[in-house]
Structure 1
Amino acid sequence: MNALPTGQFYGQTNQKLQVGHLTLTDTEYTHPWVDWHYHENAYFTFILQGKVLEGNRKERYTCTAGSLLFHHWQEAHYNQKPEGYTRGFHVELNADWFQSYEIKPLQGSIDIQHPQAKRLMYNLVKEAKRHASYTPLAMEALLIELFGELTQTSNRLYIREPVWVKQLRELLHDAPEEPWTLNQLAEHLALHPVYLCREMPRYFNCRFGEYLRMIRLQKALPLLLKQGLSLTHIALDCGFADQSHFIRSFRNQYELTPFAYRKLFVG
């Protein structure tokens, strides 16, 4: 079984940055099949464009644009890429990084679904793309915040979630563009709307408006990297009332405009 050293991934490396104990790599996936292998460092994979199937000894994930995975070091896995362009961003963290911040790494391979964690990763990638002025401080702080979010999420798993939490998450993620109302969601879940509104922050760590805005924007991010899609089309497809509302929400979330984001990643 192949063991890949720091900064090496199967495919074409378009960008590589070394920031202290971190190695950041922007890679185009060019191999239709990659056999079982592992990496010497723990790392995140963030799919920016396209899709890839990834499997380990327990699970298989179909990763589309916006998917975020974490692999513990020496966690064996394989990849299968369908036809088409696929691009991923990798953040490797060596053992010294975890030790320096006294952070316990996650175990195994994890498909991270939580939009708060993905928002932090998008911001980290944005910092890397601004490498002319990037600061290690900003990247380190975002990663520490990201592990804090994942640790909180992991701790919440020990509290038995009601069935409706999973159902609500699936409803919102399957159709974030829908003009959901509290009464509609409560009816789907057979709950009183007041109870649902009160309990939402306990299990989602934010309120309805913020959560829905996050997943709508995260649906929009990969669309911005597709050629020929106008901002108006993307805004309406993702559930925003109009282009102005979309641009304003995007700027508030990511501290740059959709135009600037597109230029940063596509050039």
Structure 2
Amino acid sequence: MRQLRTGQFHGQTNQTVNMGGVTLTDTEYTQDKVDWHYHENAYFTFILQGNVLEGNKKEVYNCEAGSLLFHHWQEPHYNIKPPGFTRGFHVELAHDWFRHLDFDINHLTGSIHVLNPDLKILLYKIFRESKLTDITTELSVQTILLELLSKMHQDQQTALHGNPIWVIRLRELLHDNVSENLSLSELAHQLGIHPVHLSRDFPKYFHCRLGEYIRKLKVEKALSLLAQKNKSLTDITYECGFADQSHFARCFKAVNDVTPLAHRRVLFG
């Protein structure tokens, strides 16, 4: 089985940035199928445009724009690319980087399909930093990565203790109905619990309030749709369930630090 070295990915590499044990790679997927392989570093794969199927020993992920996977080093997997343009952003973390920061990577094992919108939004921020490459880029990237890994570890610890059925069902409801404006009473009714119970216990499992989480999901969906050149801001506004374009722009900037147009300009250069 082939091992890929730092900065090495199958496809056409558009940009590679190295900074203190962290390697950022912007790659266009050009091969229809990549056989089983593994990487020498732990890394994130973030799909910016298009889609790809990625399989490991346990499952297969259908990764569309906005999908985020984390791989422990030497975790074998394969890729299948459907017809069309696909672009991925990879963040590799060298062994020495973890040792230097005294972070135990063994908390995060195997391959992880990351669903938390907070983590995906942080990856978009790292992507934009990779296009700036000024004197503060390395500091910013290192800081964002530590925040991201800490939140991932927090999510893993919460999952280890087991989530109630209503939490699992609620996550599915919210992720599957991003464009719908569901009320607290509607959600509670579908889950079979009291609205007070839902509102009070939500932060325990999602680490933020319900309204904040829903807003992040809408912005996360908007980020993936901005990668489609044929989608206007008006199209994206209503597809994500925002009241109007002004509301969309305000929420997007509050969550993501930049305007939708600014993000799209970075995405397409």
TM-score, shorter chain, exceeding 0.5? yes
Q: d(CA) in 1 for partners of 2:161 and 2:201? A: 14
Shift of 1:223: 1.1
Does the CA-based 8 Å contact 1:130-1:264 persist in structure 2?
A: no
Corresponding residue SS for 2:152: helix
Q: d(CA) in 1 for partners of 2:255 and 2:160? A: 30
Q: d(CA) in 2 for partners of 1:161 and 1:248? A: 33
Match in the other structure for 1:38 = 38
Q: d(CA) in 2 for partners of 1:244 and 1:134? A: 31
Match in the other structure for 2:27 = 27
Does the CA-based 8 Å contact 1:11-1:30 persist in structure 2?
A: yes
1:231-261 per-residue CA deviation (whole Å, 9 max, x = no partner) reads: 1110111010000000111111121111111
Match in the other structure for 1:125 = 127
Shift of 1:124: 1.2
Shift of 1:134: 4.8
Instruction: Tell me the TM-score normalized by structure 2.
Output: 0.97
Shift of 1:222: 1.8
Shift of 1:158: 2.1
Match in the other structure for 2:210 = 208
Shift of 1:228: 2.5
Q: d(CA) in 1 for partners of 2:135 and 2:234? A: 31
Pairing 1:115–2:117 present: yes
Match in the other structure for 1:49 = 49
1:28-65 per-residue CA deviation (whole Å, 9 max, x = no partner) reads: 00111000001111100001111111111111111111
1:173-230 per-residue CA deviation (whole Å, 9 max, x = no partner) reads: 0011101100100010011111111111011111111100111011111211211221
Instruction: Classify 1:249/1:166 alpha carbon distance in 2 versus 1 (closer, same or farther; 3 Å).
Output: same
Calculate percent identity across the aligned residue pairs. Answer: 54
Match in the other structure for 1:196 = 198
Aligned residues: 267
Corresponding residue SS for 1:123: helix
Q: d(CA) in 2 for partners of 1:134 and 1:48? A: 24
Corresponding residue SS for 1:90: strand
Q: Which amino acid aligns with 1:67?
A: S
Which runs of no fewer than 5 residues in structure 2 stay unpaired? none
Which runs of no fewer than 5 residues in structure 1 stay unpaired? none
Shift of 1:133: 5.5
Structure 1 range deviating more: 116-125 or 74-83: 116-125
1:65-89 per-residue CA deviation (whole Å, 9 max, x = no partner) reads: 1111111111111000100111100
Match in the other structure for 1:236 = 238
Corresponding residue SS for 2:26: strand
Match in the other structure for 2:81 = 81
Q: Which amino acid aligns with 1:201?
A: P
Shift of 1:160: 2.1
Q: d(CA) in 2 for partners of 1:14 and 1:7? A: 11
Runs of 4+ in 1 over 4 A off after TM superposition: none
Q: CA RMSD in A?
A: 1.0
Q: d(CA) in 2 for partners of 1:25 and 1:103? A: 23
Match in the other structure for 1:9 = 9
Instruction: Classify 1:223/1:98 alpha carbon distance in 2 versus 1 (closer, same or farther; 3 Å).
Output: same
Instruction: Tell me the TM-score normalized by structure 1.
Output: 0.98
Corresponding residue SS for 1:246: helix
Corresponding residue SS for 1:111: strand
